[in-house]
Amino acid sequence: MPAFLNSDIARFAHQLTLSPKRLRPRQIEGIEAVLALVRPDKSYPFDWVCFRVTGYHKRGTDPSASIPGEALIADLVVMAEFITRREQLPVSALVDQGGTQEDVAKQLSVSTKTIRRWRRRGLLGVRVMCEDGVCRLIFPQKGVERFKANNAELVAKAASFRQLTDDERCRIIERAKELVGERKLKLHETARMIAAETGRAIETIRYTLRRYDRANKATAVFASEHEPVLTPQQQAMWDAHQAGDSEQALAKAFNLTPRQAAEALAEIQVRLWKREKVEFVYNALFDAPNADALILDVPEPACAVAGGPTPDADLPAYLRSLYRTPLLSPEQEQDIFRRYNYVKYKIHRRLASIRGFSASPEEVGEISGWFRRARFYRDRIVQANLRLVVSIAKRHVGRSDAFFEVVSDGNVSLMRAVEKFDFSRGFRFSTYASWAVMKNYARTIPEERYRAMTQVTGQDELLAAAPDGQTVEASEMDVAHVRDAIRRGLEQLSPREREVVTEHFGLGRPDGQGATLEDLGRRYGVTKERVRQIEKRAVAKLRQLLPPTLGAVFSAA
């Protein structure tokens, strides 16, 4: 069933398909009669729609149920095609003869694409069997005349549309380059200005510019972010600035005044800032008239939590350094989170107020100061909670070789939690951060352990699995002799057994990477347990075929 906007109309359409086929022409006339009466800005009772289409009042309907006119128009057009799609009505059964989509497009002097788009506006079409035996979508002439009368301005505007000539496209592209060079506007703003100048639709201008950019990437007007592309000189200036060159050196190198160089760098910086969405947790206090005085100008709360016990001398330097950072009291925590999110809120508002990318060096310097202040607050929060990550990591992995890797992973989760924490709810950040870090560990630590268990490396690991638990040094036996013996043993196995052992233990692979039993099961179309049975049988054969020193290598399987 096609997508209807109103569920009552959808059920009604299904019920109409169950009625006798001879009633279809009458039902189509009823739908056309309703379309002639409905206005998009009004609502209509469902019972009235049923009566106008069928001539009968539908039982069990809610008399108060009404349908918006715009949705009703769209659904009636869909219903007309739906109830005639499988009936194969002959075209002669229609009381009102009409034309195909191409015929109506020619009659109204528009494209067939426009006709398809107008169907959602009320242009009625039905499926009938034409004289040549092909089922086509036919538009009754009465419906075409009714749509033309109700949408005279729309039809006239569409009929007057003409495609752009090559000269017009060239003028649009050149004008876009002029506007971008003068004001550094985005694609939509540029298209809107050119549309006002040329009388063309905004979408037409936007499509023309996008098509040009796709076909001419070297001279494109807009980048993928719908912003003006950087010229080679701008890119070179920014790269040199990032490398440490001063504005005075850049001005001299690119034959610009120091002010021009500063403005060019400011424009690129604004572009980069606008690409990155500044996220913050909003609070109603941020919009207060004296928000700066209430949030930033007030003194910070005094520290009420000591730094903690003196660390042991045998601790690593990183862990000892954590004890030098004092913890935050609840009052300090609330205050610093309020400042942090308010500063990001100010950055967001300030960047949104910049039209395009044109900003003075002074404005960019002010925003850079706010970014530095936000980073200062974020670093204070993170540093005060690093001990929390260490304590959680100890509970999850203990004193393992991967301890500091786990701590580093937890620190990333901690920084993400700082961005999402809502300080206004009154909870401690340590509670929220603990859940965030533990949730991350619950996912990543089992994955790491699973990879460590399944990454069998082949010959090195096989030689390390001697029965006495001691590593067999490669110098104790000739490597060529080992390989030859294993090769002869594998030749005695069946093709399936040989392939399972070779793939699982990574024999013959340069990287020694073996496949898991689950991977092999998917490859052969059997269960993992079936692959395990095949491997077990093959290893048992190898232990009998190989010399005792080598046969014991497979005892770990």
Residues 413-456 have pLDDT tens digits of 999 999 999 999 989 999 999 999 998 888 777 766 655 555 54
Q: What is the pLDDT of residue 88?
A: 78
Q: What is the pLDDT of residue 62?
A: 60
- Kindly state whether residues 14 and 136 are assigned to the same domain: yes
Give the Å distances, CA to CA, from 270 to 227, 352, 354, 356, 357: 11, 11, 9, 9, 6
Q: What is the pLDDT of residue 454?
A: 53
Q: What is the pLDDT of residue 224?
A: 65
1 in any annotated domain: no
- Kindly state whether residues 244 and 292 are assigned to the same domain: no
Q: Please state, as a whole number, how many other Cβ atoms lie within 10 Å of the Cβ of residue 68.
A: 16
Q: Which domain holds residue 74?
A: 7-159
- Kindly state whether residues 406 and 361 are assigned to the same domain: yes
Residues in CB range of 286: below 8 A, 6 or more apart: 295, 341, 342, 345
2 in any annotated domain: no
**Residue in the block written with tokens 């300030």:** 350
- Kindly state whether residues 359 and 302 are assigned to the same domain: yes
Which of 403, 424, 452 is at the close of a domain?
Answer: 452
Residues in the chain: 557
Which of 396, 420, 452 is at the close of a domain?
Answer: 452
Residue 383: give its domain's CATH number: 1.20.120.1810
Residue 545: give its domain's CATH number: 1.10.10.10
Report the C-alpha gap between 273 and 363 in whole angstroms. Answer: 13
256 in any annotated domain: yes
225 in any annotated domain: no
25 in any annotated domain: yes
Q: What is the pLDDT of residue 342?
A: 96
- Kindly state whether residues 438 and 493 are assigned to the same domain: no
Mean pLDDT of the 211-233 span: 79
- Kindly state whether residues 268 and 288 are assigned to the same domain: no
Report the C-alpha gap between 550 and 556 in whole angstroms. Answer: 12
Beta-sheet strand order (sheet of 98-99): 98-99, 135-140, 126-129
222 in any annotated domain: no
197 in any annotated domain: yes
- Kindly state whether residues 47 and 180 are assigned to the same domain: no
pLDDT in tens, 446-503: 766 655 555 544 444 444 444 444 444 444 445 566 667 777 777 778 878 888 888 8
- Kindly state whether residues 177 and 289 are assigned to the same domain: no
Q: What is the pLDDT of residue 115?
A: 87
The pLDDT-based confidence of 402 (bands split at 50, 70, 90) is confident
Q: Count structural domains, the chain.
A: 5
Mean pLDDT of the 152-158 span: 84
Q: What is the pLDDT of residue 378?
A: 94
261 in any annotated domain: yes
Give the Å distances, CA to CA, from 554 to 507, 510, 547: 13, 20, 12
Q: What is the pLDDT of residue 479?
A: 56
- Kindly state whether residues 91 and 180 are assigned to the same domain: no
- Kindly state whether residues 446 and 298 are assigned to the same domain: yes
- Kindly state whether residues 370 and 250 are assigned to the same domain: no
Report the C-alpha gap between 13 and 364 in whole angstroms. Answer: 61
Q: What is the pLDDT of residue 473?
A: 46
Beta bridge partners of 454: none
**Residue in the block written with tokens 């709810």:** 425
pTM: 0.51
Which of 117, 137, 159 is at the close of a domain?
Answer: 159
**Lowest-pLDDT range of 263-267, 307-311, 368-372, 473-477:** 473-477
Residue type, 118: W
- Kindly state whether residues 297 and 428 are assigned to the same domain: yes
